[in-house]
Amino acid sequence: MTKSKIGVFALASLLLLAVSSQVQAQNFRPGMVPPPGLGYGGYGYGGFGVPFMGNLGPGYFLQGAASTIDATGDLYVKQEQARITREQANQAKLDTKRKAFDQRLYEKANTQTFTETQEQNESFRLRRIMNNATESEIKSGIAMNTMLPYLKDLTNHGVMGPTVPLDPDILRYINVTGATETGSLGLLHNGGKMDWPLVLRGPTTRSLDKLLPEAVSATRDGSLDFAMYRKVKNEVAKLGEENRKKFHREEIDGGEYLTGKRYLDSLEGAVKLLDQPNAKKVLNGDIKATGSTISEMVLNMANKGLKFAPATPGYESPYYGLFNSMVTYASGAMGTSSFRVAVAPAQPRSFISKNPNISGGK
């Protein structure tokens, strides 16, 4: 009910009371007896249908008017209190929203984004690689591939490390591949002529000694067909099955079995790459690690979209030499000497005698 309606209602009530008082005063005279059945304290109806009050007198009607006025005032007060309470509730809601917004800003300002978390994880991984790279990470090229974008970023930001020369004889044994490819063609770089471990030698390896050079030659000139490719893969798989059966028949021990398996794993990876678009370029030497210094090699590989491929079995020492050179360059560029240098395991004397510039670790 609006204030105007309340005011009209109150005014009508007051007028009704005034009319009732006047009529009652005209119809009521001293000594007048109330109608039968009503005492002096009762009421009935007088003329004009107006309630007939007994001995109440004019004060009764004034009290009723005052009560009506009081009720109207109380209604106004309660309505105003309700409005104030509603406004306080709205202000409390706004305050709650403001605090929630401030809390979100605080959490956002003090919480790392996904990109920042990834960058931090990469930083931790790089530091761990440079200080404590495992043998498998170095021989597989993972350690150098982790450092490669970091060293490129140093160069892009004008941070140059010391001049760390690279021996061309070391780079000859470093296998590379395209950024999206896996495996290494290192075992086939010698035209497909294999230096088989003793545990694998037999009729199947003699068959592969004929097939592999043909497949490599066909890959180099672009004439490799699927029939030859499939035949080579089947022979390599057959050799792996023979090695496994020898172990189960206890014809070879666990160490000999693992030696043969590691060699076959590398050969399988090389054979799978023969059908890749870059195989011809890799085998022809068009795709390789080049550069007289670490900084030159990093830029050449980055510009060509290359990455390091796993080492050829028996030729792991060059990988340790390259890894240590890259760590030396990075530590010099950042002005720190906290990186530890990895030492390669001892290499067979036959390999060292063929490559006098490469020394095995102790």
Q: What is the pLDDT of residue 209?
A: 93
Structural domain contains residue 217: yes
pLDDT, averaged across the chain: 78
The per-residue b/e assignment along 175-199, b for 16 or more CB within 10 angstroms, e otherwise, is bbbbeebebbbbbbbeebebebbeb
The mean pLDDT value for 131-135 works out to 91
What pTM was estimated for this model as a whole?
Answer: 0.60
User: 272 or 6: which carries more pLDDT confidence?
Assistant: 272
pLDDT of 91 over the 80 cut:
yes
Determine the Cα–Cα distance for residues 226 and 229; give it in Å rounded to an integer. 5
Contact status, residue 309 vs residue 186, Cβ threshold 8 Å: yes
> What pLDDT band is residue 61 in, cutting at 50, 70 and 90?
low
Residues 270 and 299 in one domain: no
Structural domain contains residue 157: yes
Residues 21 and 73 in one domain: yes
Q: What is the pLDDT of residue 215?
A: 93
Residues 164 and 198 in one domain: no
Residues 151 and 16 in one domain: no
Structural domain contains residue 36: yes
User: pLDDT by residue (tens digit) across 170-224?
Assistant: 888 899 888 777 778 888 888 889 989 999 999 999 999 999 999 999 999 889 9
Residue 53 pairs in a beta bridge with: 43
Q: What is the pLDDT of residue 313?
A: 86
Determine the Cα–Cα distance for residues 188 and 284; give it in Å rounded to an integer. 11
Residues 75 and 213 in one domain: no
